[in-house]
């Protein structure tokens, strides 16, 4: 039984239980002065469920934990997960069991379909984002992307902490002119069989590639901003499967096997098995060159029509045991110190959600520096395509499994 099916089953089961109201102390927390929230957080242990598949990210979260301990006496425990849907299933089960204020999860790294599922079932605490002093540094009224998650308004139930955009990379000593759109990619793959692939779906990077292809092939991309239930899903997605049917025979291992995720895709590039790959972190190629995982001749770029991009967030479950600590942690993640360190390619390289105009001159200096040769040109990251409505993801992944899951 797939994790996604388990989540769907748990959500359906939970629908028979009444939706709990916020506990009195939780509502008071939303109205309290920030100094009182910090006092309440001192000594708490915040269990943060976040993807644990990248050593650099894990080290960064470890650094965050050290800072929170030093400044607030707050203990941050990184609960490493492979799929946040599993964590959501646990929260659903807690609500069904009547656990309204002593949950085992205090903060989640979340966005997209998982946020949609939690929001639909009222499994989130808030709205808390605008209560965070550092949230104003994102200039939300000027940057609506920090207020929207896969077309859905966050309404303060998520706090942004990083950006992502699909970015392609290649070895310039082996590939002089990379394909600049999906049509050229198919032609290039035919001419260079076995030199390209994408991660196994439902890995998020593999699913992102499917969405990018769909956006390039669908007759009216605007339909993807609406719930899939409003459209003939099979008809809308037919061009995607036509494209993949043509592409798969020319992939690495003839499309019969797929890398497990971004880390394996990067390893295949580093080993020279692939000539072209992609990531959802624009700084990852440069960081990998610095870490000697990719050759110095690595270069990165964005497709000529733009690529998918989004903001990733943290959220607090409705029944988190340590809500004050979770809010203090979410606020620190938005601090100039934490955002600048996260941006450093020697640390992680994850783009900042802060609006530089909101920072003091000394704070901005920490974000400045020479562009690494493996980083995409600065103007490339302005060509961002919006994510489809979350309901399309479920349809994409389900149909991909039927068509190619046993390859």
Residue 210 has pLDDT above 60, yes or no: yes
pLDDT at 305: 86
pLDDT at 105: 97
Which residue in 398, 394, 389 sits closest to 153, CA to CA? 389
pLDDT at 151: 83
Residue 271 has pLDDT above 60, yes or no: yes
Q: In what helix (H) or strand (E) does residue 51 lie, and over which residues does it extend? A: strand 45-51
Using one digit for the tens of pLDDT, what is the confidence trace for 310-364? 899 999 999 999 999 999 999 999 999 999 999 998 898 888 999 999 999 999 9
Burial class of residue 213 (count of CB atoms within 10 Å of its CB; 0-12, 13-18, 19+) = buried
Query: Do 288 and 266 form a contact (C-beta atoms < 8 A)?
Result: yes
Residue 2 has pLDDT above 50, yes or no: no
What are the φ/ψ torsions at residue 306 (nearest 5 degrees)? 100, 165
DSSP string, 28-39: HHHHS-HHHHHH
Q: Per the structure block, which two tokens stand in for 371?
A: 């562009």
Query: Do 194 and 250 form a contact (C-beta atoms < 8 A)?
Result: yes
Distance CA 145, CA 148 (A): 5
Distance CA 377, CA 359 (A): 23
Which residue in 51, 57, 99, 116 sits closest to 79, CA to CA? 51
Under CATH, to which class is 165-309+386-404 assigned?
A: alpha beta
Residue 4 has pLDDT above 80, yes or no: no
Distance CA 239, CA 206 (A): 17
Percent of the chain with pLDDT over 90: 74
Burial class of residue 27 (count of CB atoms within 10 Å of its CB; 0-12, 13-18, 19+) = exposed
Greatest alpha-carbon pair distance for the chain in Å reads 65
pLDDT at 144: 87
Query: Do 317 and 347 form a contact (C-beta atoms < 8 A)?
Result: no
Burial class of residue 177 (count of CB atoms within 10 Å of its CB; 0-12, 13-18, 19+) = exposed
Residue 10 banded pLDDT, cuts 50, 70, 90: very low
Helix (H, G, I), strand (E, B) or coil at 405: coil
393-403 as b/e: b if 16+ CB within 10 A: bbbbbbbbeee
pLDDT at 384: 84
Using one digit for the tens of pLDDT, what is the confidence trace for 133-144? 999 999 999 888
Distance CA 6, CA 85 (A): 9
Which residue in 239, 369, 390, 368 sits closest to 310, CA to CA? 390
Residue 27 has pLDDT above 90, yes or no: no
Phi-psi category of residue 344: left, alpha or beta, with phi > 0 → left and psi -120 to 50 → alpha: beta
Query: Do 51 and 280 form a contact (C-beta atoms < 8 A)?
Result: no
pLDDT at 407: 58
3-161+312-372 and 165-309+386-404 share one fold? yes
Greater confidence (206 vs 111) lies with 206
Q: Per the structure block, which two tokens stand in for 215?
A: 């956006």
pLDDT at 79: 97
Query: Do 243 and 182 form a contact (C-beta atoms < 8 A)?
Result: yes
Lowest mean pLDDT among 87-91, 120-124, 349-353: 349-353
Q: Per the structure block, which two tokens stand in for 133?
A: 């002093």
The domain ranges of the chain are 3-161+312-372, 165-309+386-404
Please state which CATH number belongs to domain 3-161+312-372: 3.40.190.10
pLDDT at 137: 97
Query: Do 306 and 112 form a contact (C-beta atoms < 8 A)?
Result: no
Q: Per the structure block, which two tokens stand in for 106?
A: 């205090």
Instruction: Give the HSE-up count for residue 104: Cα atoms under 13 Å, Cβ half-sphere.
Output: 9
Using one digit for the tens of pLDDT, what is the confidence trace for 28-48? 899 999 999 999 999 999 999
Q: Are strands 75-81 and 148-149 parallel, antiparallel or unpaired?
A: unpaired
pLDDT at 386: 86
Residue 13 has pLDDT above 50, yes or no: no
């Amino acid at each position: 039984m797939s994790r996604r099916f388990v989540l769907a089953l748990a959500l359906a089961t939970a629908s028979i239980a009444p939706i709990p109201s916020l506990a009195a102390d939780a509502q008071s927390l939303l109205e309290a002065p920030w100094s009182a929230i910090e006092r309440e957080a001192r000594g708490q242990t915040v269990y943060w469920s976040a993807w644990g598949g990248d050593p650099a990210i894990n080290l960064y979260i470890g650094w965050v934990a050290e800072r929170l301990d030093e400044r607030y006496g707050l203990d941050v425990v990184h609960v490493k997960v492979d799929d946040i849907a599993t964590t959501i299933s646990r929260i659903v089960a807690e609500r069904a069991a009547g656990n309204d204020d002593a949950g085992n999860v205090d903060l989640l790294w979340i966005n997209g379909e998982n946020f949609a599922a939690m929001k639909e079932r009222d499994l989130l605490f808030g709205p808390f984002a605008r209560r965070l002093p550092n949230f104003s540094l994102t200039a939300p009224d000027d940057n609506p992307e920090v207020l929207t998650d896969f077309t859905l308004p966050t309404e303060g139930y998520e706090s942004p902490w990083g950006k992502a955009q699909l970015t392609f990379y290649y070895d310039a000593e082996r590939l002089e002119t990379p394909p600049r759109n999906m049509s050229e990619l198919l032609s290039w793959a035919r001419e260079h069989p076995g030199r390209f692939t994408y991660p196994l779906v439902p890995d998020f990077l593999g699913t992102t590639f499917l969405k990018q292809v769909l956006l390039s092939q669908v007759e009216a991309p605007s339909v993807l901003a609406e719930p899939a239930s409003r459209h003939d899903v099979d008809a809308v997605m037919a061009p995607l499967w036509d494209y993949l049917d043509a592409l798969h025979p020319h992939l690495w291992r003839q499309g019969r096997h797929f890398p497990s995720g971004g880390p394996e895709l990067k390893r295949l590039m580093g080993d020279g098995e692939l000539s072209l790959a992609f990531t959802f972190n624009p700084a990852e190629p440069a960081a990998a060159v610095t870490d000697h995982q990719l050759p110095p001749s690595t270069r990165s770029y964005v497709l000529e029509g733009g690529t998918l991009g989004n903001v990733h967030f943290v959220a607090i479950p409705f029944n988190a045991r340590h809500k004050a600590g979770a809010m203090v942690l979410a606020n620190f993640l938005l601090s100039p110190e934490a955002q600048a360190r996260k941006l450093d390619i020697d640390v992680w390289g994850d783009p900042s959600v802060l609006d530089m105009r909101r920072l003091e001159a000394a704070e901005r200096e920490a974000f400045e520096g020479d562009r690494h040769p493996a980083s995409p040109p600065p103007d490339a990251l302005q060509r961002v395509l919006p994510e489809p409505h979350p309901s399309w993801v479920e349809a994409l992944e389900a149909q991909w499994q039927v068509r190619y899951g046993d390859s």
